[in-house]
């Protein structure tokens, strides 16, 4: 079997091994591929693996030997699954590989807002503490998380992991989910969307992107939030109307925002959040701990092996 990895760099910039996949067939790995590259590089491939390289109907039609597309992520919007189905091509994804890593990033943002460790350390190194008249040098209000309300939108595996950490910090957990959820071992109350925005001291967005929820975090919902509250998005950038959020931040209607995802990635220079007040942005790295990437690699190899054995798993 000819196996082609179209854009392997983000998964493995050099600190992991492709060995398990290489044992399953003749393997070629490319760091990045355009659509033109994909057609040229995968023309003889029976199996291709992609993260963000687009596999649309036109690409599928020009890859006559293709039997399998493995998406190296949970989301599979880069693949035209209907065209793949019509061509008899199996499409799989990688579920639940980064749950703990993403939940950890949510709390990295929450703790940054609560204690501003980097800011204080930076100012100390500039000599500000040395010039202070007091032994305790405070630049921002210090927030204790015990008793604060954490609102979670989307209560799947990641939302539940965030809730467990919130429980450990003594936070009150409320969540919104489209279906009824009761999870043993997690202290959390299911509420409506309006309550998340009116009651949350911190709001964490952990739901998938669908056609119906594009831009659901908009001016109206942001206006419900307390001026002292913070919003965190590790889901998908298009869940938020970025202009409405930037306006809310710049006018002090909410205290802060943290984004690991944006509507366009890498961002356009004109993205309003790049210059918004008290907005922290990381470059889509919540998923990318070495441990999570190693799990992804193992699951990807397992998906291909199962397909070759005639019993595919994680089919979308």
Q: Where are the domains of the chain?
A: 2-97+290-308, 99-281
Q: How many CA atoms lie within 13 A of 202 on its CB side?
A: 28
Q: Looking at the domain 99-281, which fold is it?
A: Rossmann fold (3.40.50)
* 107-133 per-position pLDDT tens digit: 999 999 999 999 999 999 999 999 999
d(CA 285, CA 12): 13
Tell me if 119 sits within 8 A of 138, measured CB to CB.
no
Active site residue 265: yes
**pLDDT averaged over every residue in the chain:** 97
Provide mean pLDDT across the span 165-181.
Answer: 97
Q: Which of 115, 120, 253, 284 is catalytic?
A: 284
41 is catalytic: no
pLDDT at 9: 97
Q: What pLDDT was estimated at residue 216?
A: 97
| CATH architecture observed for domain 2-97+290-308 | 3-Layer(aba) Sandwich (3.40)
pLDDT in tens, 74-109: 989 899 999 999 999 999 999 999 999 999 999 999
Burial letters 246-284, b for 16+ CB under 10 A, else e: bebbeeebbbbbbbbbbbeeebeeebebeebeebbbeeb
Catalytic (active site) residue 120 = no
pLDDT of residue 116: 96
Specify the pTM: 0.92
The answer to whether residues 10 and 285 touch, using CB atoms and an 8 Å cutoff, is no
Same fold, 2-97+290-308 and 99-281: yes
Among 219, 170, 221, smallest CA distance to 192 is for 221
Average pLDDT, stretch 8-32?
A: 97
Confidence at residue 125, expressed as pLDDT on a 0 to 100 scale: 97
Of the candidates 236, 242, 293, 295, the residue annotated as catalytic is 236
Grade residue 19 by pLDDT with cuts at 50, 70 and 90: very high
């Amino acid at each position: 079997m000819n196996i082609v990895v179209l854009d392997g760099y983000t998964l493995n910039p050099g600190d992991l091994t492709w060995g398990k996949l290489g044992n399953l067939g003749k393997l070629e790995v490319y760091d990045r591929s355009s659509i033109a590259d994909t057609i040229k590089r995968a023309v003889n491939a029976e199996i291709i693996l992609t993260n963000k390289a687009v596999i649309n109907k036109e690409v599928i039609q020009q890859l006559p030997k293709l039997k399998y597309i493995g998406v190296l992520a949970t989301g599979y919007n880069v693949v035209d699954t209907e065209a793949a189905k019509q061509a008899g091509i199996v499409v799989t994804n990688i579920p639940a590989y980064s749950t703990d890593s993403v939940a950890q990033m949510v709390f990295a943002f929450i703790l940054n807002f609560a204690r501003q460790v980097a800011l204080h350390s930076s100012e100390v190194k500039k000599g500000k503490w040395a010039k202070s008249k007091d032994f305790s040098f405070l630049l921002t209000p210090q927030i204790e998380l015990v008793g604060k309300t954490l609102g979670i939108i989307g209560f799947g595996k990641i939302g539940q992991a965030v809730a467990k950490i919130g429980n450990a910090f003594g936070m009150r957990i409320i969540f919104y989910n489209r279906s009824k959820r009761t999870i043993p071992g997690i202290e959390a109350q299911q509420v409506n969307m309006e309550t998340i925005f009116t009651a949350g001291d911190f709001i964490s967005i952990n739901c998938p992107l669908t056609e119906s929820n594009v831009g659901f975090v908009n001016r109206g919902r942001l206006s419900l939030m307390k001026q002292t509250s913070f919003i965190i998005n590790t889901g998908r950038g298009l869940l938020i109307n970025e202009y409405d959020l930037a306006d809310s931040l710049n006018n002090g209607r909410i205290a802060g925002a943290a984004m690991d995802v944006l509507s366009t990635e890498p961002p356009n220079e004109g993205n309003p959040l790049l210059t918004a007040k008290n907005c922290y942005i990381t470059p889509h790295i919540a998923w990318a701990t070495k441990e999570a990437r190693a799990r992804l690699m193992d699951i990807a190899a397992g998906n291909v092996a199962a397909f070759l054995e005639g019993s595919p798993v994680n089919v979308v």
